[in-house]
Chains A and B, each alone.
Chain A
């Protein structure tokens, strides 16, 4: 077979710059072969090398005595949770494939991250996801108090950022039909893969915004559990050890997906790259998981790595680079689905559910026995060498011979130009002067609760099996999911031990998980927004009774060659880093997804943050809904931040939904105060006086109160509704002199940070308030639980809503749109 000559055009089509090509030639000391060009192109793509973001990622705090495997060392980070146990977790994106083929794109996103966790030696026990789509409804159904506020166009902009596009009246029906299709198929794909594999999908978030139209985001997290001594490594160690391939045959699907993920999404690229989307088989993944865990228990495995992005290429060169060895493989031995596949295709294929195993010499038979037990295809394809080189042969002929470490670790690193976007001047100048205060807060509350961004996501999570494995203690629908870790959550020690009933002390541990990412705040103020994304995740964990262990982040941004986008990336990472430090939630790994832009422009900057926390005892597990009539409702934190002229409404859901405005300066996040608040809440929970805790976020105090009343679900069509009588008349605005008076919309719907609603037995109220004050946290009794309506009084005004109506709007709005 003659291979194409290496021309500048061919190099360009591989997304390598002439400088990168030159660097690759210097690494080899000669011109590249065709297969080598393919290898360099995927390994030096953003997806695999983080070449545009690596300098920024260094800002994130990654150290803690509890971290057993840190960020970037292996396929996922690992944290000690005590008693010899540990958790492995990571979030990863599958945005581009999901835009092109939403069902398979999302499904294989789940598959890929599950394999990353298995390769660490852990048993996957749950998954989460964070999704973004274009609007699925006509946003103009909000009850605008004024006509949409139009902002002046800024000159010299390549594209209008989404916040300058009026949020209403600009959507063609076709666009939300397409967004609904993407939403429906992505959710179905995630459900298909996770349900069949048997992993509970326990939490997540979904947001809708015009900037994601045509460029949806699909970020998936997987978490696994293992004993310290079970940690596996992606190492090609032990010179002479055989290299095994296990899993289905390699096909032409998913060719060069990593490179595809690292370029702008256009009509042309989407059509051209449809073949880059892989097809997932969750059943095969389940077999692969059980077989690998059984195999790891034998001690016959020296190293393990999945073939995910960049397939066989990445698995071979990374394992050799980490172990500082070399690796040699013969492609003719690789199981192939189609005849006449070229070396290039085999090396770059991203066929799913495949693993690379480095087996201890002499123990091959144990490996073969286990693969045969699980009916998995396997092949011995090569061996570990001491040359430091990755040598690939095809029927004896060398098709690639590259120094593994230089390929894996010495990709180009770029410090891109950063520039603050000029349009931020406009959004920062926004005031409430032209916005009339709400005259009908009840309608505004209903409108917010029925808005897909705030409405219950049960249409989504009822399609996921969130209970399989008997570990889900708090199901989707509260601030954070809570999982129980028990004996069978762990990978087996040996098959013999599994057959015997456990004689040891019964194992029971609890972890809480959440994923958050308010991209509107990040768009309007990347630094402050970055802080808030992390603070909200930590606050959600605190509400469940957990203290943070670690964080994994997914940075979804536009094209980093645009200085304004690079500035957004840099500033938001800076904010996140500071928040992770103050809130003691180090980053253990994550993913960067750049080039998220469609022909309409870039997405809003969207860092999503997943945080995992530990809960010491079952008694500390706390949920968001009110429990009993007569309990008192207490607000922890100040109702309105001092010195915020927008009274918490900048970038708020209220402005977006009711006034069709995405603008203003988002609320400030005082991290020290935030840390004190979480600490105080946990202290109160530990002392047994907190019956419910719910974070105030999108939609402010009124939406949070409504959710406390309506979010408990007993069974199908059977919510448990419990009312509340709230009086906010005592809230005074601690604003500086000359500031405008307290506004009702700010009080009810402002998104001032650092606020948590709790409820306690009436007899404990005084205790709660005085303890909170000792801990330097403001605590105000604002109401009583009870009745069949939500009543909120404030000076001279208020609202009263029937719970049945609020529940219907909140619970059924997405289903009504989608069915």
Chain B
């Protein structure tokens, strides 16, 4: 199982994702340079956090035009798993691979802290390992993390169960006080209609080792691994049949 971790100029969580995939979860992970137009036979793609191209103009606005994003578009259209974390989420929205947009935090300040989250669905390759009742604790670190979209898209997201994670308080309620950035309906992560592309504002790679204070982030990567294994098993059984 091979993960491709994209590297844009200005990516700064690229090594962190590679570290967790390789050294914590024992998977193969490779950095793919933004000028490459091939993903080199990856089974899944992670677009890490950072400030791609300095995030000038608008977060993710320039990265979407890079050579590697062309390859990601094709990969995603064939059902490949693509996870965008933080700036990766912003890039996927700009690229039209995910609905909605991420705007400036309502506080008008960068916000770095741990937040509580709850999975809204288990029907996703990105959160299938998160029990619905579990209070998940992950860090956020962003300036533009306020998820926003029009009413129609929001209704559609809900109808098709595309909301993956919501910010909640210690009691598990999606209150306004629990919302760190002003996101619509406390949305912290969404997926596309095909369910194979997802974006999260929280950083699962920063919460995958006990030493750093928590391991809830592993659940996201383990969900992806589980989905890939299931898919592989299915294709093997198809071949044998």
Assembled-state Cα–Cα distance A74/B211 (Å): 35
Query: Is B236 an interface position by the 8 A CB rule?
Result: no
B9, A467: Cβ atoms closer than 8 Å: no
A374, B212: Cβ atoms closer than 8 Å: no
B15, A286: Cβ atoms closer than 8 Å: no
Assembled-state Cα–Cα distance A188/B111 (Å): 11
Take A470-B205, A473-B211, A716-B178 as given contacts and tell me if A198 and B113 are in contact as well, using a CB distance cutoff of 8 Å.
Answer: no
B15: contacting residue among A488, A506, A618, A717, CB under 8 A:
A488
How many whole Å from B89's CB to the nearest CB in chain A? 16
Residues of B within 8 A of A467 (CB): 112, 139, 141, 203, 206, 212
Residues of B within 8 A of A488 (CB): 15, 18-19
Residues of B within 8 A of A466 (CB): 112
B10: contacting residue among A286, A463, A473, A486, CB under 8 A:
A286
B16, A283: Cβ atoms closer than 8 Å: no
B56: contacting residue among A283, A374, A461, A499, CB under 8 A:
A283
Take A283-B54, A286-B9 as given contacts and tell me if A469 and B15 are in contact as well, using a CB distance cutoff of 8 Å.
Answer: yes
How many whole Å from A723's CB to the nearest CB in chain B? 19
Query: Is B50 an interface position by the 8 A CB rule?
Result: yes
How would residues 3 to 16 of chain B score, 1 for a CB under 8 Å from any chain A CB and 0 otherwise?
Answer: 00000011011011
How many whole Å from A369's CB to the nearest CB in chain B? 13
A463, B110: Cβ atoms closer than 8 Å: yes
Take A198-B50, A286-B12, A468-B12 as given contacts and tell me if A715 and B18 are in contact as well, using a CB distance cutoff of 8 Å.
Answer: no
Assembled-state Cα–Cα distance A736/B20 (Å): 61
Take A465-B112, A718-B116 as given contacts and tell me if A195 and B141 are in contact as well, using a CB distance cutoff of 8 Å.
Answer: yes
How many whole Å from A649's CB to the nearest CB in chain B? 36
B55, A196: Cβ atoms closer than 8 Å: yes
Q: Which residue of A lies closest to B114 (CB)?
A: A715
Query: Is A287 an interface position by the 8 A CB rule?
Result: yes
Query: Is B22 an interface position by the 8 A CB rule?
Result: yes
Query: Is A714 an interface position by the 8 A CB rule?
Result: yes
Residues of A within 8 A of B9 (CB): 283, 286-287, 374-375
How many whole Å from B122's CB to the nearest CB in chain A? 22
Query: Is B235 an interface position by the 8 A CB rule?
Result: no
Residues of A within 8 A of B126 (CB): none
A618, B211: Cβ atoms closer than 8 Å: yes
Assembled-state Cα–Cα distance A716/B205 (Å): 19
Assembled-state Cα–Cα distance A198/B7 (Å): 14
Residues of B within 8 A of A501 (CB): 22, 28
How would residues 29 to 44 of chain B score, 1 for a CB under 8 Å from any chain A CB and 0 otherwise?
Answer: 0110000000000000
B13, A198: Cβ atoms closer than 8 Å: yes
Residues of B within 8 A of A465 (CB): 110, 112, 141
Name the interface residues of A469-487: CB closer than 8 Å to any CB of B: 469-470, 472-473, 475, 484, 486
Most buried by A among B19, B115, B137: B19
Residues of A within 8 A of B53 (CB): 283
Query: Is B182 an interface position by the 8 A CB rule?
Result: no
Take A463-B109, A464-B112, A716-B116 as given contacts and tell me if A197 and B12 are in contact as well, using a CB distance cutoff of 8 Å.
Answer: yes
Assembled-state Cα–Cα distance A506/B22 (Å): 12
B212, A472: Cβ atoms closer than 8 Å: yes
Q: Which residue of A lies closest to B108 (CB)?
A: A188
A468, B54: Cβ atoms closer than 8 Å: no
Assembled-state Cα–Cα distance A461/B139 (Å): 14
Assembled-state Cα–Cα distance A198/B211 (Å): 21
B10, A196: Cβ atoms closer than 8 Å: yes
Query: Is A462 an interface position by the 8 A CB rule?
Result: yes
A470, B19: Cβ atoms closer than 8 Å: yes
Name the interface residues of B158-188: CB closer than 8 Å to any CB of A: 169-170, 177-178, 180
The residues of A with any CB-CB pair to B shorter than 8 Å are: 188, 191-192, 195-198, 281-284, 286-287, 374-375, 461-470, 472-473, 475, 484, 486, 488, 498-499, 501-502, 506, 618, 713-718
The residues of B with any CB-CB pair to A shorter than 8 Å are: 9-10, 12-13, 15-16, 18-20, 22-23, 28, 30-31, 49-51, 53-56, 109-116, 137, 139, 141, 143, 169-170, 177-178, 180, 203, 205-206, 209, 211-213
Listed by A's residue number, 13 A-B pairs whose Cβ atoms lie within 8 Å are: A196-B10, A283-B51, A283-B56, A286-B9, A287-B9, A462-B111, A467-B139, A467-B212, A468-B16, A488-B19, A715-B115, A716-B180, A718-B116
Question: Which 5 pairs from chain A and chain B are nearest by CB?
Answer: A198-B12, A283-B54, A715-B114, A470-B16, A465-B141
